[in-house]
Structure 1
Amino acid sequence: MKKLFLGLGLVAGTFAFAQTSPSFGLKAGLNISSISDDGYEDSKSKAGFYGGVFMNAPLSEQFSIQPEVLYSQMGAKTTESVNGNVFGGTYTSKTSNSVNLDYITVPVMFQFHATPNFYLEAGPEFGFLVGAKAKGDTTTTTTIGDTTTTSSESGTLDIKDQTSKFNMGAGLGLGFNFTPNFGINARYVAGFTDISKQSNGEDGTTSTSNDNNKNRNNTFQVGLSYKF
């Protein structure tokens, strides 16, 4: 709860520093997310969506601060293949897993306007988990003599109880405003916190749900914005 108040406090504090009336807008776009290598050595990026609202408060002619509230889909994909022999034949089993993490994020970006239309930005991002699921699809192909059979199965597992409820990172990006109302933005957000939930063992030691590996969200975002 204290972390939520911290994020909301930074948003509210921007009004005190604004030199002129702030403007409000909508933004949405594409997430290309991944999870750091610890415990997910074979992970690959997955595509997702982000969208929400923002407020832009000018601090001077060249500087402004932009807090946002976004719904953001993160996670990663993994693929595993197993080959073997069975009943005088061979089999190949391929499993594709997708870790889907949904957050409400509160980025607070400090922007430097190099020109009236082009800006650079950097700042912290606070994320609050709203959903976490792991989906797996397995396809098995078996060949015995001249006969080949293929079977498949899939399943979804809720992993919210094994995932940390809070995520924090730092964003670095740039943007270009085509008009006073429409613009494009690209941003990379590097995670600082472990997404695996910590737990205390009977011996008093602290561990995570992923064998003490540190797994962090990393996300590249690109999208459009509309300012009222």
Structure 2
Amino acid sequence: MKLNNQSVAGIVIILFTFFASLQTQAQVTFRPGLRAGANFSHFTKGNNYYYDPYNPNSNSSSNNIDYSTKTSFYIGFYGALKLSKYYTLQPEIDYSSQGSNYSSSTNRNVDLNVDYLSFEIMNKFTFNDKFNVHLGPTLDFVVNKNFDTDTNVDMAFVLGMGVNLTPNFGIEARVKKGIIPVIDFDSNHTNVVFSIGGTYTFDVK
């Protein structure tokens, strides 16, 4: 059974509604929040094949290809479902602007931009009410791009850590590694993203 973007969004909304209803239980709290910050992304070198985004049929072996880091942004919201003192289940929906800077032996240099709508399930472990480590999977759908990607979906894994500066404000840093090639399946160029930013969690009474 295939799910389109609207179906996935509907499922996520239902999950958020379900999580919010659980806040009536004494041992469970639910707090929505916002997150935003900077992305530092690139494509992996893969099998070192030449790829010209403006001439995709010109692939050949080359040792002078570089997929370097480009800077962009992310923004999203989340629902923090605290199930115990140390563990929080945190579904998220993010708009993540990614891609890579591309340079070749022909002196072509261009930013390859690909933006995703990301659906993430974070497992957050909190220590001393301040420091946390979080990890989980994400399913990303392409919503904007300036070159031909080989697929319009990516699956990735996220590992991060954060600090709660106040009960509402926090900072966090993450690494996300995609597993589906973005361009040229033979060359296996996948997403790598390092992100750093802030969070704001709302109080719900």
Instruction: Measure how far apart 1:163 and its partner are.
Output: 3.4
| 1:179 match: secondary structure | coil
Instruction: Measure how far apart 1:80 and its partner are.
Output: 2.7
- The match for 1:177 among 164, 171, 176 is 164
Distance 2:188 2:10 in 1: 27
| 2:104 match: secondary structure | strand
Distance 2:116 2:150 in 1: 12
Q: Which structure has more strand as a fraction of its residues? A: 1
- The match for 2:83 among 59, 74, 77 is 59
RMSD: 2.3
Mapping for residues 148-227 of structure 1, pairs under 5 Å: 159=148, 162-196=149-183, 210=184, 212-227=186-201
Contact 2:22 2:28 in 1 (8 A): no
Contact 1:132 1:163 in 2 (8 A): no
**Which residues of structure 2 form unaligned runs of 5+?**
51-64
Contact 2:34 2:199 in 1 (8 A): yes
Q: Does 1:29 align with 2:47?
A: no
Who wins on radius of gyration, i.e. which is larger? 1
Distance 1:17 1:60 in 2: 13
The aligned residue for residue 48 of structure 1 is 72
Instruction: Measure how far apart 1:113 and its partner are.
Output: 0.7
Instruction: Measure how far apart 1:212 and its partner are.
Output: 2.0
Contact 2:22 2:29 in 1 (8 A): no
The aligned residue for residue 125 of structure 2 is 112
Q: Report the residue type matching 2:159 in the other structure.
A: L
Contact 2:73 2:97 in 1 (8 A): yes
| 2:41 match: secondary structure | strand
> What whole-Å deviation, never above 9, does each CA across 1:35-70 have from its counterpart, x for those lacking one?
111246411011110001111000111100111111
Mapping for residues 86-105 of structure 1, pairs under 5 Å: 94-105=107-118
| 1:174 match: secondary structure | strand
Contact 1:174 1:185 in 2 (8 A): yes
Instruction: Measure how far apart 1:211 and its partner are.
Output: 6.0
Contact 2:87 2:124 in 1 (8 A): yes
Number of residue pairs the alignment of both structures matches: 178
Contact 1:33 1:220 in 2 (8 A): yes
Instruction: Measure how far apart 1:95 and its partner are.
Output: 2.0
The aligned residue for residue 104 of structure 2 is 80
Distance 1:185 1:20 in 2: 23
Contact 1:25 1:54 in 2 (8 A): yes
Distance 1:194 1:165 in 2: 10
Cα 1:127–1:211 change in 2 (3 A) is closer
* TM-score w.r.t. length of structure 1: 0.70
